[in-house]
Amino acid sequence: MAEDLPQQQTPPVAAGETVTMALEKLRDAWEGVLNPLLDALENVKPSTITWVALPVGVLAGLAVLTAEETSYGANMLFGSGLLMILAMAMDGLDGPLARKFGNVSRWGDYLDHTFDRILDAVWVLCIAGSVFVGDITLGFVAAWLTLLGSYMGTQAQAVAGSRNYRGFSRADRTVLTILGIFLMGVFIHADIGDFGMLPGVLDHVPINPLSIVVLISAFGGLWTFLVRFQQAHAEINRIDEENPLPQPNQRSEQE
C-alpha cells in the first residue's frame, strides 16, 4: 500500500478577506438577478442613474421633514420610505450596469460615493429636524458621526488599497432608517403615542421610532469610526512593514 501523501493545508484567510469574498459573492448574485433589467438599460449611462438617485433620495428626506402627526403625514412617511427604497435600488444599479457594458470609471465610483454621503447626511438631518424628533442639533451630531465613520472606510481604501466595511454599515443604517419611517407611519395610523422622553440633555426629544433611528445612527457612526480606525491601524502598519515608503531625507544623507 502506498504511503499516504501529506495533506496540503490551506492558508488561513484573514477576516477582511472573508468579508470581501462574501461581498463579491453577493454582488455576483445580485448582478445575475439584475441581468434582464441591465440588458434593457444598455443605452443608459450609469452616471445618469447615479444623478437621478440623488434628487429621489433628497425628496425622501424632505417628505419626512415636512410630514406632520396626522394621517396625511403618516402617508407622507410611507411615501418617503418608498422613495428611499427606490433611491437605494438605483444606487445598487449603476455599478452593475457599468461593469456589464464596460463603462467602469474612477469618476463614476467617486460620484457614487459622494452622493451616498450626501444622502446619508440629508436623511438623518431631515429626520432629526422633523416634528417627530425636533432637535436639528442632534441631527448634525448624528450626521457628523455618520460621515466620520464612512470617512474611515474610504480613507482606508485610499491609503491601504482595500475598503473597510466593518462597523455599522450604510446598508445597516439605511434598513434601520426605512423600518423606522414605516413604523412611525404605522404608529400614527394606530394612534400609538411616544414612549416618554429621552433622559438628560435630550429630555425634550420624544422616544419613538425616528428618534431611535437618529440615536442609533449617531452611536453607530462613532462605533464604526473606532472599529475602522483600529483595523486600519493594524492593516496599514502591516503594509508599512512589508513595503516601507521611500524616505527622501535618508536617501539624501546616503548620497
Q: What is the pTM of this model?
A: 0.80
**pLDDT score, position 254:** 53
Distances (CA, A) of 79 to 76, 123, 167, 169: 5, 14, 29, 24
Domain covering 15-242, topology: Four Helix Bundle (Hemerythrin (Met), subunit A) (1.20.120)
In sequence order, the β-bridge partners of residue 206 are: 197
Radius of gyration of the chain (CA): 23
Q: What is the pLDDT of residues 28-78, one digit of tens each?
A: 666 667 778 887 877 888 888 999 999 999 999 999 999 999 999 999 999
Q: Kindly give the parts of the chain with pLDDT less than 70.
A: 1-32, 156-165, 250-255
> What does the domain layout of the chain look like in residue ranges?
15-242
| Cβ–Cβ under 8 Å, residues 210 and 124 | no
Q: From the DSSP assignment, how many helices (H) and strands (E) are in the chain?
A: 9, 0
